Structure 1
């Protein structure tokens, strides 16, 4: 018995010892793992070249589990996050030596190379974010090695080729993000096998070939968010989309989808955001709507017809509704005006009619109300600003009647009012002119009455009151309207003189006072009108002479003083400016027309001025040298003399013509054999012989992709620049004709900031383009070729650089916004911005050599028509041409002007634009990266703002870039602060959920200028 008891005591002791041994062994194992992980982390730091943000990673006794980049569970590293840390190395190949790693986040860095297959060794990996880096190549076909992933984001990289079908074998995925890449292959149907998928982002993949809506996706019953906008989708939206019962957000906008909207789409009860704007959808909007959770609905820019369904009035949660730019007809249902949550109602550009529901704004806190370009009748709803939240009201091009709602006079939130081309009448509500936030008032083409106030809101920049019945004088208080940019008061009943105070507005670009009753002389002291582009004072009763100061306005390009009582001579300085459009007809001007105006472009600019004469007949005026020398000659006798003279002249001309015809006939073969042919676009002081004989190496001043550039003397002191375009083959007649037609179109572009094309000299294998010569050559030389010394010995300082930027922007703005059709340059760069003796910028070289290419050679268009560092991403990828590719290139020029760096600055994977974007993203102090030669304290704010403008212009998405008109406006007021990252300048937020159509469509109100 005693022996048995002893045995029982020994057994528990052995168990206890075993347990203690296991604890000790486990502790030793944990300690060993801790040390190994610590060592791996220090290796990672060393591999990344000891970046400053990892200075706290030190080999001490402090636990690495406390480092902010690290998350541990049970003492072991499970998460590594290095978000937006400026890493430029490849991903460490030994990263998976952290055996328990489940979470890896390296988004928004500069990681290069191909997809890192070393991650396959992370057997427990569930979360992988490599988005917004510089990865290239294909996503590997065996990516399904990462079969434990629940989250995968590879967006914002340069991945190309197909999305691999193996993606469909990542069964655990909840979120898949493949947006903003360069995929140019297929979208795999196998993605439809991801039965647990809840989020799918494939937006902004412009390189996709035309792809039908992946019908396999409709079996993803757990999918909540699906973004596939701007990805070249074609075909119809399948009816089976109704199977995606969990869907909450769907964005298929900016594609080429056609057919009708499937009824099942509006039956998805969880759907809250639906964006299918900018497609080719047709038919009617489904009548039955049961998606009662909808908060944002955008069907704009399609071909939808029929009525607005009454059931939309049942969507009590609807905040944003846009049906604009369709073919909808009928009335707006009364129930929509009573939607309690509605803030934005956008239906412009349809065929809608009837009266607008009177409850708009009374129940909901309305912010935007855009009903322009329809056929609405009756009054505007009285309560649009009932809750004091209304920001924009656009209702132009309708048949609205009555007075403006009195409540608009106390609507302090209102920024934009545009009700042009209606039948509205009465006085403007008194408080509207001085409303604290009002920026634009456009009420042209109505029947409004009253007088202009002495004071305006300090934010008001655009006033359009033309074609109304306003009367009285322009008040002297106009001098306080300092921020006014556009003022259109045409066709009213204004009288009195044009007040001198009006000439003190420095930002004014357009002033239209035509068809009024103004009297007195033109203002003479107008030096403050430095930004004025368009001045129209026609059809008044103005008198006196044309002041010399008008000819000194630096930006003036359109001038109309016709139908007045203006006398005196035309200032020769005005002719030197060669405005694109000038009209001085029907006045009392006298003297000789300056020779610069003797061009068919100005054929109707000086009519009905009996005292004017011209040296050539192209202006339809009396010839200066044919006037009677004696004032008392009998008119009848003079007419006989003229008739006889004409008969004699006609006879001589006939004989001369016959002689020339014979001569031409005899020398026809010889003429055909002559190699050079001159096509003139302006009056020339030289012949083709002057040009051709000077094509020697001694005269070469530069070279380009198609040949050399020569400086040719054409007289004792004048020069022209000749660009020689060579071809390695005989130019086909059809190509030459097409080329010359294009040249002739461009020769008619006349602007002070565009190099004048004088003529073209051609033969069967060469073309010579003859331009005006500019003494200071190209901007490229001054910025990058160490030739920055001016004649006075000073460097290219900031005031000169800003002056150059404004000049180039004015030239491009004219091409984009004032030419019909718009002209796209396609190769904007510093070497194509030339400078005259006063550093006035002139845009040159319109890529005309492209016209010489055969159709089969167009595949290399981007290489021919662009220069690395300046080429917009979408142009390099698709060769699609629009104005935004020029904006991108000009943005690079602004970055060069502010940083002094070249456009290809960076490494093999980046350019100056990408370099600048990265600095903005990581929060670099802008002052630290500016050109040292211009870092003067008094200009620092201006320089920083122009750098930020350059970043804005080089946004990846074309829609996010400003227009050249907006760029020019910012340059002209460059001291105004800009906020990089602020959504109102269109910057892309890396979080895709922040990108939605409501924001994009309200970034700028639809106005009749669009």
Structure 2
């Protein structure tokens, strides 16, 4: 080839390569600019949040932005997590052509599922969990054909999970937990043969369903969670065909039958949760091939003995069998398990002696066997490896001395061994174990003297009902973190030392039924937190210190059966429980205590007197003159005047009755009465009594009257305003209340007797409730409340009454949500709409804003947001869509009010009680410090703390994370019966039985699921 030709050829090839490279550079440059502009557009759509200030026109290196992931210089991932985003997903998001990873979880994104994501043709990872998304998951979601990871959990999606999800063959991970699904889960999920994780847990509004048989086709599935999702029936025998399964949790359901033997064919299974079902029968044997690490079969109806085959599970770290009906002994071989960390069988029917090898071969941390019938001694080696944190063996028949090894157990945090038959002395080192917080050894036969030094961290120190003797040591001044010092019923002697006043955190001091002598310290003003002081049944003498009257928190004072003398000092009237009986006190009882509430408080004090007979004491000298005799002439004159007055009154009555009869006929003809109950009055009885002196309340709706009917009973009449401008709204409220209350009956819902109306007025007549509304009791409201009278201020709304009220309101709401068809959402639950009868039974009132739902759990959209600030759920404010969970939120606010004593609008730098409470929870504040100081009693402290936490659970931002009212009622009833709370540690069994605070998973802690 000629040289010139070759040169020409090379030249053209070189030019072609240069021009191609230049063209590619230009194309890449334009592509880079385009992606940069799209990202800035996303920022603008999100309303320029402050956390994206680095997204700007000058910073073009967007691949270095922490929210962006790039591959080959192009955006493939966008992560905006926990960023308080309140806007929708940008509709142009998929203009980022190479996007494979989208993560917007833990925000407040509203609206329905963003279908614009279908155009992200390369999308593999999508996480929109923990947002305010609503509606149903669209059927055409299978358009995301390349998706491998899908997380829509903790949202407000409802309806069914679409069957089309079974067409998404590439899916490896599905999480749809904590939603509002009220249909079914699809059988077609069994077609996802590549699936490795499936989480459908905490969807308790699912229709009752059995575990689908075709799930056994998921040969690659490793994690299957479906706890709390209304599963029924038996566990399929062929569940063992899921050969890759490692983590199975189908707890908190209604499964029945035995645990199938097929389950134990899972060679790779590492964690099993089957708790809170309704299993019956004995626990089956396990095969030795199991690799189980954790087993939780707690809170069922399991019966029979604990199988000896548990001993074959050499990798077992946790065994939870608590709250069942198991009987017999614990197999000795379980104590030999080499990996066991936690063992919990409390509240069963177990008996016999404990395996002595517990703790010898494993690093045991938790040992909970309380509330059974065990006897014999505690195992010697529970803390052999120095790891034991929690020792709970209370309420058994255990005896003997405590193992000496416990004296060297520096890891111990919680010691609860009360109500057994232990005796002897406490191992010396146990008193001062550094990490010990709870020391509860009451109701045993321990003896010896109290130590000079106690662990500096102990807050609860209960040694009551034992045989301790000697003086309270001077070293008590170093017990500075003790909050409760309970030493009732021992043989302590000597005086009450001045050093005891150094315990400034003290809230309960119970030294009753001992042999203490001498006078009390005169300066106790440092006890600023003291709520309960009980020194009764001792040999104390001298005067009662005046400084006791200056303790700001004191509400229980018992100094009875001593030898105190002198006058009663100034005692604040906030004291609710006072007992100074059987002493040598003199003088007059303070006037604030001269009422029947304190009729037992001052007995057997011969020198005391009172100005009232209610206290059964000597009456103080009144200095009254004797009455003079009345003359016969005066008596005759009085009788004559009475006869004349009687005749005049009879004549006037005759004329009035005649007039009223005519007026009654006219009234009855002009009014329309619709009755919903059997009535003991007429229209005229009501209308004629609507006078100014009978007014007991008023508001935006109109006026409320108390009307006496039938000579003995009262009714409450709510008369709507006649203002024409607001007439239409009032009529809507009137008809809503009539429609709902006329069709429902419940002891915790106010009873509508009838409605009365004419062309100008509308009236609703209810049962009259004597104790007014809850807000008056909690917040000292002066104004009268709807359908109620005046509260009696001298009666204290103590904790048992508050708990009773909470249970009543919960029952009423539960009836509305779960037993009415269609369900009813109140929309305005607040303390002023909770009325109380003479026995403090709660009644839900004011249904003017109530809404009938189409079906349970389904959202209804309102035309406007109407409600009361501080009580309205955030999703209602943001979307105007309502379902039962907005009432749950409002009820949670009431629980916070009942426990803290603060109003729903309370706050400092925050705007409501909910935000104030959550801010303190996030900061790790001591919940006890948030409670209503005026009404906290030590015996109810655990209950109040736990009800506060239940209020927190009910007011989570995400509706799907809130419990249903059925679950709330269940929890409150367990609290009332002492089955959940009692003296049990919150860590051992958290507030709500339907939301387990597991030691091993973080599916829900006390902190909201949408916050850190």
Structure-1 residue corresponding to 2:35: 37
1:47-88 per-position Cα deviation (integer Å, ceiling 9, x unaligned): 334444444445579554444433333443322223333433
**Contact preservation (8 Å) 1:273, 1:295:** yes
Q: Which moved more, 1:187-196 or 1:729-738?
A: 729-738
**Contact preservation (8 Å) 1:913, 1:951:** no
Secondary structure of the corresponding residue to residue 190 of structure 2? helix
Structure 1 residues 754 and 915: alpha-carbon distance in aligned structure 2, compared to 1, 3 A threshold = closer
Distance in 1 between residues matched to 2:849 and 2:30, nearest whole Å: 68
Bigger RCO of structures 1 and 2 (CA < 8 A, at least 6 apart): 2
**Contact preservation (8 Å) 1:888, 1:955:** no
Matched, 1:877 2:873: no
**Contact preservation (8 Å) 2:487, 2:510:** yes
Report how far residue 238 of structure 1 moved.
3.1
Distance in 2 between residues matched to 1:462 and 1:262, nearest whole Å: 45
Structure 1 residues 996 and 416: alpha-carbon distance in aligned structure 2, compared to 1, 3 A threshold = closer
Structure-2 residue corresponding to 1:186: 184
Secondary structure of the corresponding residue to residue 78 of structure 2? strand
**Contact preservation (8 Å) 2:809, 2:843:** no
Structure 1 residues 111 and 915: alpha-carbon distance in aligned structure 2, compared to 1, 3 A threshold = farther
Structure-2 residue corresponding to 1:583: 579
Find 2:788's aligned residue among 748, 767, 773: 767
Distance in 2 between residues matched to 1:81 and 1:953, nearest whole Å: 29
Find 1:279's aligned residue among 277, 280, 283: 277
**Contact preservation (8 Å) 1:129, 1:152:** yes
Structure 1 residues 274 and 619: alpha-carbon distance in aligned structure 2, compared to 1, 3 A threshold = farther
Structure-1 residue corresponding to 2:109: 111
1:790-811 per-position Cα deviation (integer Å, ceiling 9, x unaligned): xxxxxxxxxxxxxxxxxxxx97
Structure-2 residue corresponding to 1:323: 321
Structure-2 residue corresponding to 1:805: none
**Contact preservation (8 Å) 1:759, 1:770:** no
Distance in 1 between residues matched to 2:395 and 2:137, nearest whole Å: 52
**Contact preservation (8 Å) 1:850, 1:865:** no
| RMSD, matched Cα | 5.6
Find 2:197's aligned residue among 193, 196, 199: 199
**Contact preservation (8 Å) 1:505, 1:529:** yes
Report how far residue 299 of structure 1 moved.
1.3
**Contact preservation (8 Å) 2:105, 2:128:** yes
Q: Which moved more, 1:500-509 or 1:372-381?
A: 500-509
1:748-782 per-position Cα deviation (integer Å, ceiling 9, x unaligned): 99x99846799999xxx9533345599xxxxxxxx
Report how far residue 448 of structure 1 moved.
0.6
Matched, 1:902 2:899: no
Distance in 2 between residues matched to 1:146 and 1:562, nearest whole Å: 77
Report how far residue 206 of structure 1 moved.
4.4
**Contact preservation (8 Å) 1:887, 1:954:** no
1:242-282 per-position Cα deviation (integer Å, ceiling 9, x unaligned): 33222211223333434433332333222212223233332
Find 1:370's aligned residue among 368, 371, 377: 368
Secondary structure of the corresponding residue to residue 467 of structure 1? coil
Structure-1 residue corresponding to 2:844: 850
Distance in 1 between residues matched to 2:101 and 2:561, nearest whole Å: 77
Structure-2 residue corresponding to 1:410: 408
Structure-2 residue corresponding to 1:465: 463
Find 2:490's aligned residue among 484, 489, 492: 492
Distance in 2 between residues matched to 1:426 and 1:178, nearest whole Å: 56
Report how far residue 867 of structure 1 moved.
4.0
Alignment of 1:253-402 (within 5 A): 253-290=251-288, 292-402=290-400
Distance in 2 between residues matched to 1:6 and 1:473, nearest whole Å: 119
Report how far residue 424 of structure 1 moved.
0.9
Structure 1 residues 821 and 73: alpha-carbon distance in aligned structure 2, compared to 1, 3 A threshold = closer
**Contact preservation (8 Å) 2:350, 2:374:** yes
Distance in 2 between residues matched to 1:409 and 1:459, nearest whole Å: 16
Distance in 1 between residues matched to 2:199 and 2:405, nearest whole Å: 44
Report how far residue 561 of structure 1 moved.
2.6
Structure-1 residue corresponding to 2:937: none
Secondary structure of the corresponding residue to residue 571 of structure 2? helix
Structure 1 residues 299 and 734: alpha-carbon distance in aligned structure 2, compared to 1, 3 A threshold = closer
What stretches of structure 1 of length at least 5 have no aligned partner? 630-662, 675-690, 711-721, 775-809, 834-844, 905-910, 924-946, 965-982, 1005-1010
Q: May I ask how many residue pairs the two structures share in their alignment?
A: 831
1:338-381 per-position Cα deviation (integer Å, ceiling 9, x unaligned): 11111111111111112211111111111111111111122111
1:269-328 per-position Cα deviation (integer Å, ceiling 9, x unaligned): 222122232333322212124562221211111111111111111111111111111111
Q: Which moved more, 1:860-869 or 1:233-242?
A: 860-869
**Contact preservation (8 Å) 1:758, 1:772:** no
State the TM-score, normalizing by the size of structure 1: 0.70
Secondary structure of the corresponding residue to residue 222 of structure 1? coil
Alignment of 1:333-732 (within 5 A): 333-571=331-569, 573-574=571-572, 576-579=573-576, 581-590=577-586, 593-594=589-590, 596-597=592-593, 599-612=595-608, 618-619=614-615, 703=699
Structure 1 residues 267 and 80: alpha-carbon distance in aligned structure 2, compared to 1, 3 A threshold = same
1:500-521 per-position Cα deviation (integer Å, ceiling 9, x unaligned): 2223322212221111111223
Structure-2 residue corresponding to 1:87: 85
Distance in 1 between residues matched to 2:63 and 2:851, nearest whole Å: 59
**Contact preservation (8 Å) 2:872, 2:890:** no
Distance in 1 between residues matched to 2:56 and 2:847, nearest whole Å: 62
Report how far residue 954 of structure 1 moved.
4.9
